[in-house]
């Protein structure tokens, strides 16, 4: 009688084959195998790596002799599985046959139907950071103050709130378009526009807007900001082209309101709310700027001259009224003369030269 002894450690298992057929698993301990008329063979494998790899894995898995010593995972074409070992993510299994040992390490298998394209599980963000996840899942994160518009094969599915999302690969083409809902500013700069009186000016506008319908913003056009830029540009040309230069320069606020009203109707079809449009500055050609400066200078000079003449007329009218009052009232005239002499005397020594007879008497009487 011929036999051989096999020693299997506590962290090992023995795959027992007789004449090439799998007959069972030898657990830790000492085993004696009798080789009498039949060929016996044992493959010793470590259970510290729970994933069993063997060239006869299909025979082992389907033998029904693993009992509760291992978990057999047989995934069909539309199935996937997440493997957690000792509470930590290990890998994602694609369709195929797998065997995982029980006992030495805690193995958990989570099976999923990949036809439900979106993976939903607790603590998704924890495993989404693992590089191995990217081999089987498309992972995206919708940031704060954003919304994600989800499409499967180009068809709208739903609008996603901020968070982490994962979608099974090799099922459908899942795409998430991320939309920022915060208020944004758009500069419409360097627009050369001709007014109704054939004056060309360069206009700079600033528009403030925000997205209110993420689906429209994602589906209406490739770039909503570029579309809004173009619409504001066309509205500015229509409004300013119908006005003369002087009308535009004196009524910029109404011009901005008209541009905003035209642009707002288009913005609504893009899923946007146009908050405001303002004229930041208008730049005129050099020769037109010099001409306007001369016109302004002439106007100011005329206004200054008018004010001077008005004041001069008022002063002369006041003097005429005073003279008339003094002529009608001799006593008031005497008081006025005394005020004048008082001012002269206050300046210093008063010298009086009298040359006409009788003038001295009048001055003495006056004093």
Q: What pairs with residue 21 in β-bridges?
A: 18
pLDDT one-digit tens code per residue, 164-190: 999 999 889 999 999 999 999 999 887
Q: What pairs with residue 71 in β-bridges?
A: 100
- Residue 207 above 90 pLDDT? yes
At 363, the pLDDT band (50, 70, 90 cuts) reads low
Sheet holding 200-211, edge to edge: 184-194, 200-211, 272-283
CA dist., res. 50 & res. 98, Å (int): 11
CA dist., res. 160 & res. 146, Å (int): 9
At 206, the pLDDT band (50, 70, 90 cuts) reads very high
Whether residue 59 contacts residue 89, with contact meaning beta carbons closer than 8 Å, is answered with no
pLDDT one-digit tens code per residue, 72-122: 999 999 999 999 999 999 999 999 999 999 888 999 999 999 999 999 998
pLDDT one-digit tens code per residue, 17-53: 988 889 999 989 998 887 666 788 899 999 999 999 9
pLDDT one-digit tens code per residue, 243-253: 888 888 888 88
**Nearest of 236, 255, 237 to residue 246 by alpha carbon:** 255
Whether residue 227 contacts residue 219, with contact meaning beta carbons closer than 8 Å, is answered with no
Q: DSSP secondary structure string, 91-135?
A: EEE-SEEEEEE-SSS-EEEEEEETTS-EE--TTHHHHHTSGGGGG
Give the pLDDT mean for 299-327. Answer: 74
Helix ranges restricted to H, the chain: 57-61, 124-128, 214-219, 224-241, 245-250, 252-269, 286-328, 330-346, 359-366
Give the pLDDT mean for 177-205. Answer: 87
User: For the chain, what's the residue count?
Assistant: 367
Q: Could you give the C-alpha distances from 13 to 6, 41, 106, 319, in angstroms and in order?
A: 11, 13, 16, 128
CA dist., res. 234 & res. 106, Å (int): 67
H or E segment at 191?
strand 184-194
Helices 359-366 and 330-346, interaxial angle, to 10°? 90
Q: Which of 42-56, 233-247, 278-292, 318-332 has the lowest mean pLDDT?
A: 278-292
Whether residue 332 contacts residue 326, with contact meaning beta carbons closer than 8 Å, is answered with yes
At 123, the pLDDT band (50, 70, 90 cuts) reads confident
């Amino acid at each position: 009688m011929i036999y051989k002894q096999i020693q299997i450690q506590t962290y090992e298992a023995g795959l027992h084959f007789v004449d090439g057929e799998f007959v069972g698993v030898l657990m830790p301990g000492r085993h004696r195998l009798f080789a009498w008329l039949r060929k016996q063979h044992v493959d010793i494998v470590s259970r510290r790596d729970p994933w069993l790899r063997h060239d006869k894995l299909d025979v082992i898995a389907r033998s029904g002799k693993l009992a509760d010593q291992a978990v057999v995972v047989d995934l069909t074409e539309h199935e996937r599985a997440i493997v957690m070992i000792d509470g930590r993510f290990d890998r994602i299994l694609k369709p195929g046959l797998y065997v995982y040992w029980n006992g030495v390490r805690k193995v958990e298998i989570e099976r999923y139907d990949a036809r439900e394209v979106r993976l939903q599980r607790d603590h998704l963000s924890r495993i989404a950071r693992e590089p191995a996840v990217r081999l089987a899942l498309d992972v995206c994160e919708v940031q704060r103050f954003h919304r994600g518009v989800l499409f499967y094969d180009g068809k709208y599915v739903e609008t996603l709130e901020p968070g982490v999302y994962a979608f099974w690969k090799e099922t459908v083409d899942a795409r998430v378009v991320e939309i920022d809902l915060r208020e944004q500013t758009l500069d419409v700069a360097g627009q050369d526009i001709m007014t109704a009186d054939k004056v060309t000016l360069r206009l700079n506008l600033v528009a403030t807007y925000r997205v209110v319908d993420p689906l429209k913003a994602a589906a209406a056009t490739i770039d909503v900001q570029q579309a809004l830029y173009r619409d504001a540009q066309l509205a500015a040309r229509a409004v300013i082209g119908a006005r003369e230069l002087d009308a535009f320069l004196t009524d910029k606020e109404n011009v901005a309101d008209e541009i905003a009203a035209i642009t707002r109707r288009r913005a609504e079809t893009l899923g946007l709310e146009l908050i405001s449009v303002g004229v930041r500055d208008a730049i005129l050609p050099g020769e037109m700027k010099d001409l306007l400066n001369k016109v302004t200078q002439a106007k100011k000079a005329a206004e200054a001259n008018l004010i001077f003449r008005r004041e001069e007329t008022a002063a002369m009218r006041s003097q005429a009224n005073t003279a008339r009052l003094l002529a009608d009232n001799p006593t008031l005239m005497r008081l006025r003369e005394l005020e004048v002499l008082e001012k002269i005397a206050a300046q210093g020594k008063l010298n009086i030269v009298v040359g006409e007879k009788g003038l001295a008497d009048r001055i003495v009487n006056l004093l």
